[in-house]
Amino acid sequence: MNAQHDPSTDADGDAPDRPLNLAVLRHLVHTHWKDLPGDTLVVLSCDAEGNSYSPFATYAHGRYAAIGADDLVGELFPLPEHLEQEPELRDLYPDGVPGTAVPALALYPLG
């Protein structure tokens, strides 16, 4: 990611137009959301405008690389150790993981 789109480490939301990192998410859960009931449904927006939503269903840990230099759309790649361990992944990613890829936690909606 370029400097314009580096993840925000701002837990108070002073930089709302930047991606959040895991430290900020943890902070939000432990401070701002700590009193929410445990059965509160977590939903993900299908786009930045909030045109539709779907419940959070699962996650993946990988490496993210933006498609373009100023683009907030990209691809999630397997972790290097998974590429080493799984031959079929190596076949899917013959060029490996781009050098620009950063650790990422991908959250997937149910629908």
Same domain, 68 and 102: yes
Predicted confidence band at 68 (pLDDT cuts at 50, 70, 90)? confident
Using one digit for the tens of pLDDT, what is the confidence trace for 76-88? 999 999 999 999 9
Same domain, 110 and 70: yes
- Give this prediction's pTM: 0.74
Give the separation between CA 10 and CA 16, rounded to whole angstroms.
9
Number of compact structural domains in the chain: 2
pLDDT score at 4? 34
Same domain, 93 and 63: yes
Task: Note whether residue 47 is domain-resident.
Answer: no
